[in-house]
Amino acid sequence: MSNDTAINILLFCLADNDAEQIIACCRRAGRVAHTQSIETGEKLAEVIVEKQWDVLIFDAERSQLDVQRCGHILRKHQVDISLIFMGEGDPLNPPDPAITDIISKYDIPQLVGAALREQRSQALRRQLKQREIDLKEAEGRNELLLADHLDPLAYITDGMIIYANAPFCEHMGNEDLEGFPIVDLITNKDQDRFKNALKKQQLNKDQQQLEISFAHSDGREIKTLITCNSANYDGEACIQLSLNNNDSNNQLNGLDLSTQMSNKYRFQEVLQEFIENERNSDSSLILLSLDRFSRLRQSSSLLDVEKILEAISVHVREVMPAQFYGRVADDMIAAICHHVGSDAALEMGLELCRAIENDIFEIKKKSLQCTASIAIMPINHLTPPRASLLLDTLFHGAEKIYLAGGNNAEICHRERQQLSTVEAATSLASEALNQGRLTLLFQPMINLGNADGDHYEASLDIKDWVEGEVTAGELLRVIEQEPDNNKLDHWIVVEATKQLAKERQTGQDLKLIINLSGNVFHDPEFCSWLSVAFKAAGLPPSSVILQFNEESIANALKPALNFAQQLQKLGSALSVRNFGRAQKGNKFLSHIQPHLVKPGFRKTDTPSDEQIKDIVAQAKVLKSRVLIPNVGSAATLAMLWQLGPDFIQGSYVNEPMPSMNYEFASFN
């Protein structure tokens, strides 16, 4: 019989008939009752130490022993047995604290139910006690491990060291560092980087590695690779710092053995951290590529090639003082020059080319001369936020320099991405989604007419966009080359409705125009999915207007018409952007009957009064409202008041922003 189907019950002064009823009730409940009857305190003290009991049932009518005496015996022997008092009494004021329940003598089923409940509670208490014992033993073992750990370890909370083992204290030249501010142990130049690393660790919990210079108590500067992990010490959430000794295992510490620079994996981590924290520092990233490396590799042994790279790394350090160096490929060395502009870095690169060209490398009594191609890229506020992208750009730049003759240094920039194929558009959209670079911007629309509520327009945007990358508008247009791909549109709707629902919770009557691609016209299930999305967000369909490019509607007129009809049945509406720009004209819009039209004026356009009047007249024929974009001055607004558009937007009102927090009441 398994333990979970049995219950061990002590019966104190119970009649045989009551005992038999208890056993029968337990059987009906699917449990086997192992019982023993006792009548004296001496016998109770004896049996509770011989065997583990679950419940003690005390018959107050038949017992000659006070229940208080019974409770005293249980406490004296420190046994955990639930005591059920069978008789009359107040459950809220039991005669002894050991009593867990008071049950009428004539309600045996309730008595058995209470016994089974107490057995479950007791099992949980025993499990908890065992876990506490196991935890205490584990903590003891951990304390021994920490004390004997050969690697320097410290635990930090709120910037203070709460524990540091002996190797850590020795590394810093101190006997005890408990309660010491960790920042005081770090050189001034690295304090900001270290603080940023601690903040990042608290947010994402992922392990980090970074190289930090510590200030030894004797004044020396010790450059050390540290690893940050989220941990718990003494029940308190904290950050564990472990120091890796550079002389113990260079490969594990992310160092290249030949050059004593960071290896490619470590350097990419360092570069990623640098561009996240120092993008506005006007710095430079430099990549040196050894010319004709494949020919050199064929004519020399692997060891000889490594000796050449070692010698070149010495030139790099001498000519190009940098904050970080790394060997990122067999024939490539990279450097991050902090606070060194690209022009200054170019001068250093040209000097380095000359130094390498003029050097003679002696390998096995054979003289060799080498040249290098050096690509330089500025690190500033326009730098893409991905280390891999920067290195790829420099790889291509160094290759171009080599193909042009090599032995030169140039500043290179990322070439503009081409979207001539569907694969390129799909790949870029997926990449941007996976890397979290897509976001939405919300631009307020000022109501000049009689429309209800406050309006925003939501548009796709790419975070950290730089010159040369595709724009969000291009991405939305070109992805229409693959009509079945609506992953991007789904993402836009989910994110936009999520933010709209959040803002409407405050009681604001907000309406949102969401820009999408024409791919949704080809998805017969999109409106059904949209209905579910509205319900999930708790939004009325009338609060959302979906906006499409006029050319997209013209190119898929029949699917667009079906979509507009489904959208209308749902209770939402359709809007048209770039109104008046379709090559086929816009007479087809009479079938669509858009709720709103937005003319395709560029920021550089200065539309005349006649053009605005014509737009407004066309909209009236379609029974549509008109939004005039790019309003940049009070003079423009004064002119528009006379011409009758329903909405305006532009820099005079507010630029697009990441949230819907514009104060509409402030616009006069």
pLDDT at 514: 96
| E-state strands within 538-646 | 544-549, 573-579, 596-599, 625-628
What is the average per-residue pLDDT within 432-447?
Answer: 85
Select 149-244's CATH number: 3.30.200.20, 3.30.450.20, 1.20.1250.20, 2.170.190.11. Answer: 3.30.450.20
Distance CA 564, CA 569 (A): 9
Distance CA 245, CA 255 (A): 11
Tokens read off for 665 = 């009441």
- Contact predicate 360/395, CB 8 Å: no
At 639 the three-state DSSP class reads: helix
Q: How confident is the model at residue 375 (pLDDT cuts 50, 70, 90)?
A: very high
pLDDT value at 565 more than 90: yes
pLDDT value at 413 more than 80: no
Q: How confident is the model at residue 627 (pLDDT cuts 50, 70, 90)?
A: very high
Distance CA 39, CA 71 (A): 14
pLDDT value at 75 more than 60: yes
Distance CA 397, CA 404 (A): 11
Burial class (CB in 10 A: 0-12, 13-18, 19+), 360: exposed
Nearest C-alpha neighbor of 579 from the set 547, 531, 536: 547
Between helices 526-537 and 487-504, what is the axis angle to 10°?
Answer: 30
Q: Where are the domains of the chain?
A: 3-128, 149-244, 264-411, 422-666
- Contact predicate 25/112, CB 8 Å: yes
- Burial code (b: 16+ CB inside 10 Å, e: under 16) for 160-169 equals ebbbbbbbbb
Distance CA 521, CA 523 (A): 6
pLDDT in tens, 40-60: 988 998 998 888 899 999 998
pLDDT value at 250 more than 90: no
pLDDT value at 562 more than 80: yes
What is the average per-residue pLDDT within 250-256?
Answer: 60
pLDDT in tens, 262-316: 888 889 888 988 888 887 778 899 999 999 888 887 777 777 788 888 889 999 9
End-to-end CA distance of the chain: 84
pLDDT at 407: 93
pLDDT value at 248 more than 60: no
Superfamily of chain region 422-666: EAL domain (3.20.20.450)
From 11-20, 119-128, 241-250, the region with the lowest mean pLDDT: 241-250
Q: How confident is the model at residue 636 (pLDDT cuts 50, 70, 90)?
A: confident
Distance CA 606, CA 337 (A): 45
- Residue with token string 């009236």: 620
Select 264-411's CATH number: 1.10.150.80, 3.40.50.970, 3.30.70.270, 3.40.50.300. Answer: 3.30.70.270
- Range 3-128: architecture per CATH: 3-Layer(aba) Sandwich (3.40)
Tokens read off for 541 = 């369909």
pLDDT at 2: 43
pTM beyond 0.75, yes or no:
no
Distance CA 58, CA 73 (A): 13
- Residue with token string 């003679």: 360
Q: How confident is the model at residue 492 (pLDDT cuts 50, 70, 90)?
A: very high
- Distance, CA of 571 to chain centre: 36
Mean pLDDT, the chain, integer:
85
- Burial code (b: 16+ CB inside 10 Å, e: under 16) for 80-89 equals ebbbbbbbeb
pLDDT value at 226 more than 70: yes
More confident residue, 544 or 589: 544
Strand partners of residue 545: 513, 573
